[in-house]
Structure 1
Amino acid sequence: MQKNRLFSLIDKAVFDYHLIERNDRILVGASGGKDSTALIEYLANRSRRPDCGFSFTALNIQTEFGGAIPESIANLFREWNVDFRVISIDVQGRLKPGKKMNCYWCSTQRRTELNSYAIQNGYNKIALGHHLDDVLETAIMNSLHKGELSTMIPSLRYEKYPVTIIRPLYYAMEKLIIEHAKERGYYGYTCTCTFQDNSTRKDARAKLSALTENNPVLKQHLFDALMNVNVSYLPKKQS
């Protein structure tokens, strides 16, 4: 596989957290956006290594609100010999009486379908395109809205289901993914859903930008702080 900075960072995350192991069957959530497409490109390249030992499928969950994956992205998947599948779901039809449609509901339903498809078809891992900026934004959201220091983790095994969530882009900043996608010619596709406004996530993104001034060094320091917690100098909750 041709080495580049993004793929090297993904390799490191995969190695550090044992994200891909022999005989894994991985289901990748494919939105058509830069993050999931970069992840699929990486897996397609990695699967051609002599010591591959795993298989993967890219699955797009299509709803009545978002458009289909652009043909240009689908053509790339074919070029990369990716097993690409599409299923359609009626998101609004699942709303309970009196509830309004929103971005969170749609996202939850698509995640539910990914989990169900993985379990029903024998996949043991689900790969998602969350990157370093997503991790920091989630830490900010959880701190401010939940009052707890927590965030996404690179590997999460469900207690109730035989599936593990993996995030191979964990070490990659969004800026690097954008640069990579532009270089590869697939940057630019965005969700066209009219319910895509996630104000809490956007607010956290703005706060992260203000806090770090979009300086990658400061973002990296903030990310490193999540893994370098000195509990001796943090207050303890009194019983």
Structure 2
Amino acid sequence: MKLQQLLSYTRKAVDDYKMIKDGDKIAIGISGGKDSLTLLYALSGLRRFYPHKFELEAITVDMGFKGTDFSEISGLCRHLGVNYTVVESEIAEIIFEHRKESNPCSLCAKMRKGAFNAKAKELGCNKEAYAHHYDDVIETMMMSLIYEGRFHCFSPVTYLDRSDITLIRPLIYVDEKDIKGFRNAYQLPVVNNPCPVDGYTKREYVKQLIKNLGSESPGLRERLFHAIQTGQINGWAKPE
């Protein structure tokens, strides 16, 4: 996928769900993975020509795994003209050494979001951008069906009243396979995930389930996404 195509998908999502307004200051959560670095490219590119003017801050919450190096990401942010902040934390030590969590994902996500929200507010941001893509949308809905017994998914735009900040997801129209292509084409400085439970989650199981079902029923992913947009899930109806 080329940058122009990425910008086209991103702008469509931003326009469809009115994600960005004049004067917004948006914090991008940079995990170091391909998705968040693609989002960094997308919003920094959109910033150049989008009719509503906005600012960007890139923020990484360093979980504290030894040997993790974000210097190349820092260089990319300088190249794109985006201020970059690394928030040091001891999340990995707390979860894996002190608490010895057997199912650490929920607590880890809560702690990372808390650190990210605090830094975003400190930097004066009124919005945060997460890098959830097309496949994440479908997988989240399927996880909700399978494990919670309800037809639900996160919204493209969510107001977080506790932190008084709005969360946006500009990559919801971008396929994961296209993000992989973008990563390769633009040689994104991906930082490998050092988490010991990476790849052994319920989400990974659901990802493989959708892949297997899709091989038997072509067009499944598109039908699932359409069901989300038309199924009266909160926040998914396109504004008039």
TM-score by structure 1 length? 0.86
Deviations 1:7-46 (A, max 9, x none): 2111100000111111101111011211111111112122
Amino acid across the alignment from 2:121? I
Cα distance in structure 2, aligned partners of 1:150 and 1:45: 31
Distance in 2, Cα, partners of 1:105 & 1:160: 18
* Cross-structure match for 2:101: 100
Task: Identify the range of structure 1 (203-212 vs 129-138) with the bigger mean alpha-carbon deviation.
Answer: 203-212
Aligned partners of 1:215 and 1:182: how far apart in 2? 29
Structure 1 residues 18 and 69, CA, compared in 2 at 3 Å: closer, same or farther?
farther
Q: What is the one-letter code of the residue matched to 2:138?
A: L
Deviation readout 1:199-227 (Å, 9 max, x if unpaired): 21111111111121298843122101112
Would the alpha carbon gap of residues 226 and 24 (structure 1) be closer, same or farther in structure 2, given more than 3 Å must change? same
Structure 1 residue ranges (4+ consecutive) displaced by more than 4 angstroms after TM superposition: 92-99
CA distance in 1, matches of 2:55, 2:14: 15
Question: 1:116 is aligned with what amino acid?
Answer: A
RMSD of aligned Cα (Å)? 2.6
C-alpha distance in 2 between matches for 1:192 and 1:72: 17
Identity %: 29
User: Residues 142 and 93 of structure 1: is their aligned pair in 2 closer, same or farther, counting only changes over 3 Å?
Assistant: same
Shift in CA distance, 188/119, structure 1 to aligned 2, threshold 3 Å: closer
Residue 171 (structure 1) aligned with residue 164 (structure 2): no
Structure 1 letter corresponding to 2:128: I
Sort the Cα spacing of 1:153 and 1:5 in 2 relative to 1 into closer, same or farther, 3 A: same
Q: Which moved more, 1:21-30 or 1:193-202?
A: 193-202
Corresponding residue for residue 38 of structure 1: 38
Tell which deviates more after alignment, 31-40 or 46-55. 46-55
Question: Take 1:137 and 1:217, find their aligned partners in 2: how far apart are those partners?
Answer: 15
1:151 match: secondary structure: coil
Do the aligned residues in 1 keep the contact of 2:10 with 2:170 (CA within 8 Å)? Answer: yes
The equivalent position to 1:135 in structure 2, one of 134, 137, 143, is 137
Would the aligned equivalents of 1:67 and 1:192 in 2 still touch at CA under 8 Å? Answer: no
SS at match of 1:9: helix
Shift of residue 3 of structure 1? Answer: 5.9
**Stretch moving more, 60-69 or 119-128:** 60-69
Give the TM-score normalised by the residue count of structure 2: 0.85
Moved more, 41-50 or 187-196: 187-196
Relative distance call for 1:121 and 1:3 in structure 2 (3 A) is closer
* Residue of structure 2 equivalent to 1:237: none
- Which residue is 1:64 aligned to? 64
Q: Supply the distance in 2 between the matched residues of 1:128 and 1:216 (Cα, whole angstroms).
A: 29
Residues in 2 aligned to 1:137 and 1:222: alpha-carbon distance in whole angstroms: 10
Report whether the alignment pairs 1:157 with 2:150.
no
Moved more, 75-84 or 133-142: 75-84
**Conservation of the 8 A alpha-carbon contact between 1:46 and 1:52:** no
Contact 2:29 2:116 in 1 (8 A): yes
Unaligned residue ranges in structure 1 (runs of 5+) = 232-239
Q: Which residue number in structure 2 is paired with residue 209 of structure 1? A: 211
Which whole-Å CA distance do the structure 2 matches of 1:49 and 1:116 have between them?
29
Partner of 1:110: 112
> Gapped runs of 5+ residues in structure 2?
234-240
The equivalent of 1:180 in structure 2 is: 182
* Alignment-derived partner of residue 125 in structure 2: 123
How far, CA to CA, are the matches of 1:65 and 1:110 in structure 2?
A: 13
1:74 aligns with 2:74: yes
**Per the alignment, do residues 82 and 166 of structure 1 end up closer, same or farther by CA in structure 2, a change over 3 Å counting?**
same
